[in-house]
Amino acid sequence: MKQQRILLIIGGGIAAYKCLDLVRRLRDEGACVRAVMTRAATEFVTPLSVAGLTNERVFTDLFDLNDEHEIGHIRLSREADLIIVAPATADLIAKMAGGHADDLASTVLMATDKPVLAAPAMNPRMWLNPATQRNVVALKGDGIRFVGPNTGEMAERDEAGPGRLAEVPEIMAAARAILGEGGVPHVTRLRSTRPLAGRHVLVTSGPTHEPIDPVRYIANRSSGRQGHAVAAAAARMGARVTLVSGPVALTDPPGTSVVRVETAEEMLAAVERSLPADVAVFAAAVADWRTEAAPGNKLKKTGEKHALNLVENPDILATIGKSSERRPPLVIGFAAETRDVVAYAAKKRRAKGADWIVANDVSANTGVLGGASNTVHLVTEDGVEDWPTMAKEDVAERLMLRAAEFLRRSTAAAE
Ligand code: CTP
């Protein structure tokens, strides 16, 4: 970090004291550090101690008027290679997302054309609050980078969860990574981080539940993690996302509009209502069968064998993939197989009218169903790509980047 100029914006939170260590480490690595403190931050650490460590004067609202003469907020924000916001409080994040400029910190952030790294720290409930999550999605979409928060014990007693400020070495590593990219301004990054802006992505996810009677149902082991990760990735990339989800124990991915369904028939109806879309990703593990007629009352034991009369469910992917009307330009299916993965997937691609099939081995020993990672093969008209084992979030990210590139090319070809 030799000679790199860091502007550290210190927000008002209990974790503000960790900034003292951050300043020390940044300077140890040769960076020049200047600090802006919000009014609330000065309640937690004194500007004097920050100034002692930065070896520079500290900028707070209190000095606003003088500062405008000596060094304005524009200069403050421009004379930096990187801006680090730590701790990024819920309030500071909200101000950044809303484009507020009512104090020195928020004005500097509004005025900057430099990369910004935010290290959130707050109470877990404040972090998980939909408003904060919406703001974070918006800021990520704007090219703001985040490190943390970490999960663990909070300063308040009996409080634990996501909301701890990332550790100083983690913040340093994130800063180094951004500076290593040559300090590309986040406004320039915008286009590349929102490659799905203006697109509508429709995703199905989770299992379906097919009733046997009012209290029992047929289900499968799908957790919905892969489909939800696809929806989250598409939203981060700027798409309007409709997520049609069967029953799952996951929180709604930020920035998506979720339609909850139970059965395959409900899922098909919701998908049809959500069209048109630019991309449709069918990641749901739709039950292949449903009972022919579920009785209105609970089935009782009779001491005899009981057979369920099953009929096939509609194939949602095939219905949309083979429809001539309102077929999205890019239709992506998943193929869960336990053997001959690629061969079956290639067959499914043709049979269901999909453009791409993401094929994965879901044999019990792979731990894919309900697990965190996935080893997939992307089967397209042009052949098969073997992807390395990745977290489901990374599979999602890579898939949506490919989708964005596909749409970009087809739009360019049409012009
Ligand atoms: N799919 C669907 N509707 C169904 C069944 C499957 O939309 N009724 C979609 C899935 O979301 C997935 C793809 O079709 O994108 C393949 O799902 P998979 O379960 O692997 O295939 P099946 O058609 O059920 O084939 P089989 O179980 O016989 O392998």
Domain boundaries, the chain: 5-193, 200-414
User: Is 70 exceeded by the pLDDT of residue 40?
Assistant: yes
Ligand 1 nearest atom to the CA of residue 283, by list position = 11
CA of 220 to the centre of ligand 1 (A): 12
Mean pLDDT score, 119-125: 95
- pLDDT tens-digit series, residues 306-315: 899 999 999 9
Residue 230 CB less than 6 A away from ligand 1: no
Catalytic site residues?
Answer: 220
Instruction: Please list, in sequence order, all residues whose beta carbon lies within 8 angstroms of the beta carbon of residue 399, skipping any fewer than 6 positions away.
Output: 230, 233, 281, 332, 358, 378
Task: State the pLDDT confidence band at 319, using cuts at 50, 70 and 90.
Answer: very high
Angle in degrees, 0-180, between the axes of helices 225-236 and 130-141, rounded to the nearest 10? 60
pLDDT of residue 163: 93
- Indicate if 200-414 has the same CATH topology as 5-193: yes
Domain 200-414 is in which class?
alpha beta
Residue 333 CB less than 6 A away from ligand 1: yes
pLDDT of residue 191: 46
CA of 103 to the centre of ligand 1 (A): 54
Task: State the pLDDT confidence band at 185, using cuts at 50, 70 and 90.
Answer: low
Q: For residue 217, which of 243, 244, 247, 245 has the smallest C-alpha distance?
A: 247
Residue 264 CB less than 6 A away from ligand 1: yes
Task: State the pLDDT confidence band at 35, using cuts at 50, 70 and 90.
Answer: very high
Mean pLDDT score, 355-367: 85
Average pLDDT of the chain is 90
pTM for this structure? 0.62
User: Is 60 exceeded by the pLDDT of residue 220?
Assistant: yes
User: Is 50 exceeded by the pLDDT of residue 44?
Assistant: yes
- How many Cα atoms within 13 Å fall on the side-chain side of residue 232? 22
| Residues 5-193, CATH architecture | 3-Layer(aba) Sandwich (3.40)
